[in-house]
Homo-oligomer: A and B are copies of this chain.
């Protein structure tokens, strides 16, 4: 690790250690939101420098691009986080032991949180507001595609921190390049957790190379199972919403599992997907049921690679099963433990599905598009955890805290 990076890590650790999150964080974030709006011109100029280096046909182009409206949205989100209740100092457990020891488990900041992300400059601001609101310092490693935009944003964040007499080291932006990513992933003692936000490739790279704790987020291979008794209207609406509301998000539908008794109705239930030009990869029985009813250029036979794929596109696999057990096995085999849904009017099957499926969010008769911090009532989220430790599903402010046991005695010793 070079001395520059080491000095960044040391300063951020020190800032985290001495930061008092109750001291005016709300005010600082609101001030920052104002600064973002006032300096929209400078932010957009920096953003243009990034955009000029990217091919507008690149799907990342739209995620990289900022506008006056997007800056206003970022500022608005920041004001919303600013006024959320603090997640710190919550009494998680409390007990007085027979020997008189008073034991309290309190929520405390995690410390220093590293976030590795791709070309989305809004993430820079989202991560900072959530981290600082929960008392954490953050070290950001943004995509090199967004480096001018990120620099401009972090400069304003530094201004806001300075304005409120807070340490500017509550946030640090690492230089582009894989070397600083590797330093961050191995900063044991300086960094308490790292959250990768991006595709499966990034997540795998992080898990393979990190010696600091990692929260895996994101990748979602999402199924909706239409059961024998599933309501036709609900099915139409849920499948269409889960697939086409936003295809680039992790909770978007990837594979419809259909009970064989529903094959006859399948064309009318999912016909609406053709309006959005959704390409179907259908297994043999579903293909047979759809052929002649669904546009031929949007219907293709499924092969093994159709299942277990996160499409992030106007594409969907269709799998036919003869009972719920087969559906559960398919999800167990191909799902990524993100969001899974059943459409059914059979209470026993609903309960079996909800209890058996091993995923962060399991739905009965609702769209998987709801897997989102704001939709769950958390206010905001830093990502969606698809692993089982520390946090699972949308990660809001509470999930950015750790805990500490505080024990008050009057001289007790252990026999």
| A interface residues (Cβ-Cβ under 8 A, vs B) | 17, 95, 97, 101, 103, 105, 108, 110-111, 188, 192-193, 207-208, 211, 213-215, 231, 233-234, 237-238, 240-242, 245, 332, 350, 354, 358-367, 369-371, 375-377, 387-390, 392-393, 402-414
Contacts and interface: CB of A to CB of B under 8 A. Distances in A.
Q: Which 4 A-B pairs have the closest CB atoms?
A: A366-B409, A241-B413, A234-B411, A388-B402
A213 B389 contact: yes
A369 B359 CA distance: 39
A404 B389 contact: no
A198 B245 CA distance: 50
B405 A361 contact: yes
A407 B361 contact: yes
A389 B192 contact: yes
Contacts of A412: 365-367, 370
A402 B375 contact: no
B110 A377 contact: no
A227 B299 CA distance: 77
Given A408-B366, A411-B231, A110 B361 contact: no
Given A17-B332, A192-B389, A388-B192, A414 B214 contact: no
A361 B97 CA distance: 15
A404 B237 contact: no
B411 A366 contact: yes
A387 B208 CA distance: 20
Contacts of A408: 350, 354, 363-366
A359 B404 contact: yes
Q: Give the copy number.
A: 2
A337 B293 CA distance: 65
B413 A367 contact: yes
B17 A411 contact: no
Contacts of A405: 360-362, 371, 376, 392-393
Contacts of A111: 358, 388
B110 A389 contact: yes
30 contacts: A17-B358, A95-B377, A97-B375, A97-B376, A101-B366, A101-B370, A103-B376, A105-B393, A111-B388, A234-B410, A237-B411, A240-B413, A245-B414, A358-B404, A359-B404, A361-B406, A362-B407, A363-B407, A364-B407, A364-B408, A364-B409, A365-B412, A366-B408, A366-B412, A366-B413, A376-B405, A389-B402, A390-B390, A392-B404, A392-B405
Contacts of A364: 407-409
A366 to B, nearest CB: 3
A203 B387 CA distance: 22
Nearest to A209: B211
Contacts of A363: 407-409
A365 to B, nearest CB: 5
A180 to B, nearest CB: 20
Contacts of A237: 411, 413
A414 B365 contact: no
Nearest to A251: B414
A404 B234 contact: no
A192 B407 CA distance: 31
Contacts of A371: 405
